[in-house]
């Protein structure tokens, strides 16, 4: 996954940027040529803006800080939804004749359209994300009923003090500061994190339409098929949607079944099984194979995070498992 380059701009009126504007182009969102955002400072001011974030296959997540405030809008219509959560200050979104005000504790969800303009206050910090509609619709259908084509009908505003939405905020911040995998390693954890964001949004953001899952099979058969599929594919990127499809169940059914029968979520089960594989390989070959190489083999590319998870599960550091002859 690519990391959006940190942008720190102080743009003086009359410099090389015509009309006090500059283009901030974020890397492509799932095959789009680009995600162009046009920004300009408040009249008569120097624009001060810092943005940091990350792109994935299905999303862009960022955090922006501006001491001056700014006006922004997309240069083109995209089949995408934007979520913006102010941490400090406030902003007004103008959508045609409609004006929507969002401040601390209130999140705003809107379509990405050129006519939608955002006016931020000075001393402004915002956490934002853009999701393509296709994976949102696919995840919504997978959560409730894979046999039907469904689309979420999100409300514009959300109270970010609610427990589920606070968890969404924490996950978004974690993604903003998610480190790239070292040495060109494939990060098999990030697709799970990205999928988690989508399901958190679907599960927690208020909607005009709510439905319940009607896709059911014998629970024991679902669980067996799901765990067998996970165990057979632990060495590559794996998503909950993929596991649910293999098990013949909706994502919601799978989540409920894992929690009721195994006491954990499907994501946690996948991570735990990978940790068990690492533990097994450390005992078997830790004296000849570096710990980092074994961790990479099972999808752990961030060694500090891996060590923390390993000790939390087994009560020991990975190096404590290596045969004494290797120390």
Q: Which of 9-13, 160-164, 209-213 has the highest mean pLDDT?
A: 160-164
pLDDT tier at 274 (50, 70, 90 boundaries)?
Answer: very high
The tens digit of pLDDT for each residue in 182-207 reads: 766 667 788 888 888 999 999 889 88
Please name the CATH architecture into which domain 1-211 falls. Answer: Sandwich (2.60)
Which two structure tokens, joined as six digits, stand for 275? Answer: 């940790």
147 vs 90, more confident = 90
Strand blocks (E) in the chain:
3-11, 22-26, 35-40, 47-55, 59-66, 71-74, 80-88, 90-95, 98-103, 106-111, 116-120, 124-132, 157-159
Q: What mean pLDDT comes out for the span 4-24?
A: 35
pTM score, whole prediction: 0.67
CA-only gyration radius of the chain, Å: 22
Asked if residue 13 has pLDDT above 50, the reply is no
User: 258, 272 in Cβ contact below 8 A?
Assistant: no
The tens digit of pLDDT for each residue in 89-119 reads: 898 988 877 888 888 889 999 888 878 888 8
Asked if residue 87 has pLDDT above 70, the reply is yes
Cross-strand bridge partners of residue 124: 66
Q: Which residues of the chain does CATH 2.60.120.10 include?
A: 1-211
Q: What percent of the chain has pLDDT over 90?
A: 14
Asked if residue 3 has pLDDT above 60, the reply is no
């Amino acid at each position: 996954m690519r990391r959006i380059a940190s942008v720190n701009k102080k743009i003086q009126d009359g410099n090389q940027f015509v009309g006090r504007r500059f283009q901030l182009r974020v890397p492509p969102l799932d095959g789009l040529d680009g995600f162009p955002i046009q920004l300009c400072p408040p009249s008569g001011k120097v624009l001060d803006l810092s943005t940091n974030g990350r792109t994935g296959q299905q999303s862009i997540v960022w955090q922006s800080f501006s001491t001056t405030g700014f006006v922004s809008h997309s240069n083109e219509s995209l089949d995408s939804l934007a979520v913006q959560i102010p941490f400090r200050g406030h902003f007004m979104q103008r959508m045609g004749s409609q004006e929507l005000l969002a401040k601390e504790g209130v999140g705003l969800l809107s379509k990405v359209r050129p006519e939608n303009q955002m006016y931020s206050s000075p001393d402004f910090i915002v956490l934002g994300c853009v999701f393509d509609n296709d994976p949102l619709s696919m995840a919504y259908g997978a959560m409730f009923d894979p046999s039907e084509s469904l689309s979420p009908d999100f409300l514009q505003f959300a109270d970010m003090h609610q427990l589920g939405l606070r968890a969404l905020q924490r996950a978004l911040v974690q993604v903003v500061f998610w480190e790239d995998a070292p040495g060109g390693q494939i990060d098999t954890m990030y697709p799970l994190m990205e999928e988690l964001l989508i399901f958190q949004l679907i599960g927690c953001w208020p909607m005009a339409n709510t439905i319940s899952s009607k896709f059911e099979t014998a629970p024991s058969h679902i669980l067996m098929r799901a765990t067998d599929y996970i165990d057979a594919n632990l060495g590559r990127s794996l998503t909950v949607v993929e596991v649910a499809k293999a098990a013949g169940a909706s994502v919601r059914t799978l989540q409920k079944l894992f929690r009721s029968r195994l006491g954990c979520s499907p994501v946690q089960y996948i991570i735990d099984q990978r940790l068990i594989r690492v533990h097994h390989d450390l005992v078997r070959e830790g004296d000849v194979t570096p710990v980092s190489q074994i961790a990479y083999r099972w999808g752990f590319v961030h060694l500090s995070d891996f060590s923390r998870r390993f000790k939390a599960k087994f009560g020991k550091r990975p190096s404590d498992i290596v045969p004494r002859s290797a120390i």
